[in-house]
Every structure is written in C-alpha cells, then in structure tokens.
C-alpha cells in the first residue's frame, strides 16, 4: 500500500510539473509574440509557439513563428525604423520610401549593409498613386490600405526595385536609404549636408558626434564656413570645434553633389509636392561653398572625394574593416579614401560599430531595456558575431526575442 501511495504521488507530481512547464511555455510564447509584433497572439498561434518552445527550449523556433505575423512588419518594424527618417526622431511620421525600403531589406533577408550603399528601393505594387520624386503620395496611399490589404509582409504589396530604375538616379550615385527622397527631405534640406552625416552616425553606428571628438586629427578638410575664432576666441575652435569637424568634414565630400530642391509658400514653408532630391554629377552643390569668408584658407570642396581620419586615433575602436570594402582605398598613412556616398556607405556599414549598433537597437526594442549586465553584453556580442555571417536582421530579432523570453 505504501508503494502504491508513493507511485500515485509520483504520477501526480509529474502531471503537475508538466502542467507548470506548459504554463511557463505559454507565458514565454506570449512574451515573444508581444515583443516581436506589438500585438497579442490568438489561441492557435500561442499554442503553436508554446509547442515550439517544448521542442526547442531556446525559444528561437517560437520566435520564427512569431515573425510570420504581418504585424511584425506593419507595427514593429514600421515603428522601429520611422524615427531614423527625421531629425525629430519621432515615430509619428507617414510611411515613406526610406521606411519601406528598410522593411523590405529586412523582410527579404538582404544583406543589411546594403541599407547604406545599395541601388535598392521598395515601392507598393498596383498602388493608385505612382511613385513620385517630389512627394510622398505613393507611400501614404500604400499605408492607407491598412494592415490587411497593405500587408508589408507580402511581396505582392511591397516590391523590390532599383532606385536608378524608379527615380532615374545614376546607379553609381545610389547609396541605399541615404539617397531616398525621405532622407533628402530630412537631411539634405538647406544647411551643408552635415545633418546627413550626423544622423547616419546616430542611426547606424549608435553614436552622436560628441563622443567621437578627437582633437588630434588632421584639420586640413575643415570647411571655410567654420570659424577658427568663434566669439573671437581661437581656443574654442582648437579645444572643441576641430575635434568633430576634422573627422566629419573629412567625410563630408561624399554628399557634395546632393541637395533638396523645393519651393516655399508665402509663409516660408516647403510646398511638399515640389520637394525632390537633386544630384549634380558634374558640379558641387553651392551649399558646400557658403560662408567662405569665415576662414578663407579653409578647405574648398572641388569634388566628391572623402577621407576617413577616424580610422586612426581613438575612433579606431569603431572597428573599421580591413581590408577596406569595395570602392574604398587606404593611403600610405592608413586613412580610408573614396568618392561619393556609395563608397562612404560601405565604409560605415562594414565597421564593427555598425553591426553592434543594429543588435543593440533590436535588444532595446525587443527586451525593452538596455543591455545592463555582463550576461546581456555577452549575448549582444554573440548575436553580433552571428549577424555578421550574412547580415540578416530577422535573425537578430529572432535571437534577441528568444533571449528575452524569460525563464
């Protein structure tokens, strides 16, 4: 009788343990789905994911199931990418060619480095408003279809094309999202195009310019518009300004042939259907020559060449590629040189900082926190190493969601 009692108790414990495990799997499955799609799963999806966790406790198989949900594209990715497309870094912006192109690159498992250099553009298929170089009507019409008809996960809705075919831009002048209309509208408008460089660093290398300040860099490419005695005090330039401008202005030539053309209304506001990117293959944009009297001996831009002085010094920690990528050369001093935005995009996208940045952004978006301890940082390093084997962003979302599913 004693043996029978113990047997009954053992069976009961197994049943309870099994039920607890399934409940835990359901909790983890729901967390994975919520984090990857921004929406709760239905009962069928939840059970499929829980069963996947039973068979693959890592959670990666369950995450792959969640990634088939259209809301991963329509909600999570759209909100993830939208802040990259404007200086305000707000998510409250309409779908545009920049956002749609990044979504498409991720959806189709295209090498994510192409985001800064590729001749690539995603447009809607069979949309009443055709693509225009001067307005965003095409993408707003695509977005207006709604999350079901406008399913960005469906290649019958969102299709890959080339920028050169759709916009007429010279293929050699294309540089992924940097040469989309939305990027031009945000970062090539007025100014000196330094905004394009700064926000590319923020969005794709996860650093603003201040942490990159290095007063030891060669200042021979600092433009004429930068005063060498701001407020009449040359020490400000020598101790502060030059630290950013020496490196940034060295690479600014990549954008010397780009501009946003537009017409203003009577109140000085941009008339949207007149705003289009201009590329001048045979001349430098006049914005690169403004305020020349601030410092006459300063650098004068004559072509679209650039030099990366940050390959040496403290910013070598960004992990620049060796050997350099296609279209980039190293001079005798070890600085990278090239021509145009495409080559600069390759220089940036092949850095270690680029790969790690994408993983950190996904970690924060999916785990809802920064990597906060040694275990987290170890996971970021592992996912980054895996990401560099093909540069597939869906894989990053999968692996990070699996890590943050809970135990």
Give the tens place of pLDDT for each residue, 105-136. 999 999 999 999 999 999 999 899 999 999 99
Question: 329 and 372 in one domain?
Answer: no
pLDDT of 240-287, one tens digit each? 899 999 999 999 999 999 999 999 999 989 999 999 999 999 999 999
Question: Higher-confidence residue: 147 or 127?
Answer: 127
Q: Which of 173, 194, 214 marks a domain boundary?
A: 173
pLDDT of residue 7: 52
Q: Is residue 87 part of a domain?
A: yes
Q: Is residue 224 part of a domain?
A: yes
Instruction: Please state whether the predicted TM-score (pTM) of the whole model is above 0.85.
Output: yes
Q: Is residue 183 part of a domain?
A: no
pLDDT of residue 16: 43
pLDDT of residue 5: 55
- Helical H segments across 188-328, by residue range: 194-205, 234-236, 242-252
pLDDT of residue 12: 47
Q: Is residue 179 part of a domain?
A: no
Biggest distance spanned by C-alpha atoms of the chain: 102
pLDDT of residue 15: 45
pLDDT of residue 93: 97
Question: 215 and 100 in one domain?
Answer: no
Question: 219 and 287 in one domain?
Answer: yes
Q: Is residue 189 part of a domain?
A: no
- Residue 12 C-beta-side C-alpha neighbours within 13 Å: 6
Return the exposure string of 81-105: e unless at least 16 CB atoms fall within 10 Å of the residue's CB, then b: bbbbbbeeeeeebebbbbbbbbbbb
**Residue 92 pLDDT > 80, yes or no?**
yes
Question: Higher-confidence residue: 307 or 156?
Answer: 307
Task: Please list the residues that pair with 308 across neighbouring strands.
Answer: 336
271: left (phi over 0), alpha (psi -120 to 50) or beta: beta
Q: Is residue 274 part of a domain?
A: no
The predicted model gives 45-65 an average pLDDT of 97
Helix (H, G, I), strand (E, B) or coil at 344: helix
Tokens at 381, concatenated: 């390093």
**Residue 23 pLDDT > 70, yes or no?**
no
Domain count, the chain: 4
Question: 64 and 18 in one domain?
Answer: yes
Q: How many CB atoms lie within 10 A of CB 339?
A: 18
Q: Is residue 193 part of a domain?
A: no
pLDDT of 350-407, one tens digit each? 999 999 999 999 999 999 999 999 999 999 999 999 999 999 999 999 999 999 998 6
Question: 328 and 254 in one domain?
Answer: yes
pLDDT of residue 233: 87
Question: 284 and 313 in one domain?
Answer: yes
pLDDT of residue 18: 53
Q: Is residue 23 part of a domain?
A: yes
**Which of the four pLDDT bands, split at 50, 70 and 90, describes residue 1?**
low
pLDDT of residue 22: 57
- Which phi and psi angles does 189 have, rounded to 5°? -75, 130
pLDDT of 155-213, one tens digit each? 889 999 999 999 999 999 999 999 999 999 999 999 999 999 999 999 999 999 999 99
**Residue 21 pLDDT > 80, yes or no?**
no
pLDDT of residue 20: 57
Boundaries of domain holding 210: 205-265+280-350
């Amino acid at each position: 009788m004693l043996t029978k009692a113990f047997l009954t108790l053992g069976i009961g414990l197994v049943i309870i343990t099994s039920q607890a495990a399934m409940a835990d799997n359901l909790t983890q499955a729901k967390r994975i789905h919520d984090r990857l799609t921004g929406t709760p799963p239905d009962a069928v999806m939840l059970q499929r994911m829980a069963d996947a966790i039973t068979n693959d406790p890592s959670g990666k198989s369950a995450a792959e199931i969640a990634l088939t949900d259209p809301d991963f594209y329509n909600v999570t990715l759209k909100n993830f990418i939208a802040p990259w497309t404007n200086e305000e870094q707000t998510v409250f912006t309409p779908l545009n060619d920049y956002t749609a192109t990044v979504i498409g690159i991720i959806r189709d498992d295209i090498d994510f480095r192409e985001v800064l250099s590729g001749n690539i553009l995603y447009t809607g298929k069979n949309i009443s408003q055709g693509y225009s170089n001067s307005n965003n009507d095409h993408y707003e019409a695509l977005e207006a279809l709604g999350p079901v008809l406008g399913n960005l996960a469906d290649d019958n809705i969102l299709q890959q094309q080339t920028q050169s075919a759709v916009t007429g831009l010279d293929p050699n002048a294309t540089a992924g999202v940097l040469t989309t209309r939305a990027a031009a509208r945000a970062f090539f408008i007025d100014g000196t195009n330094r905004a394009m460089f700064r926000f590319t660093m923020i969005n794709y290398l996860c650093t603003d310019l201040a942490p990159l300040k290095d007063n030891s860099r060669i200042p021979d490419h600092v433009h004429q518009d930068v005063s060498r005695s701001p407020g009449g005090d040359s020490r400000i330039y020598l101790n502060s300004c030059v630290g950013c401008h020496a490196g940034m202005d060295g690479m600014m030539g990549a954008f010397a042939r780009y501009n946003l053309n537009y017409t203003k209304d009577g109140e000085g506001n941009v008339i949207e259907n007149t705003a289009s990117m201009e590329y001048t293959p045979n001349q430098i944009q006049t914005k690169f020559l403004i305020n020349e009297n601030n410092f006459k001996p300063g650098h004068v831009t004559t072509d679209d060449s650039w030099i990366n002085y940050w390959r040496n010094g403290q910013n070598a920690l960004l992990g620049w590629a060796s050997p350099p990528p296609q279209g980039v050369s190293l001079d005798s001093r070890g600085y990278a040189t090239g021509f145009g935005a495409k080559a600069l995009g390759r220089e940036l996208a092949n850095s270690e900082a680029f790969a790690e940045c994408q993983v950190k952004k996904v970690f924060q978006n999916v785990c809802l926190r920064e990597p906060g301890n040694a275990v987290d940082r170890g996971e970021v390093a592992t996912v980054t190493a895996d990401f560099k084997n093909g540069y597939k962003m869906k894989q990053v979302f999968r692996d990070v969601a699996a890590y943050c599913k809970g135990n």
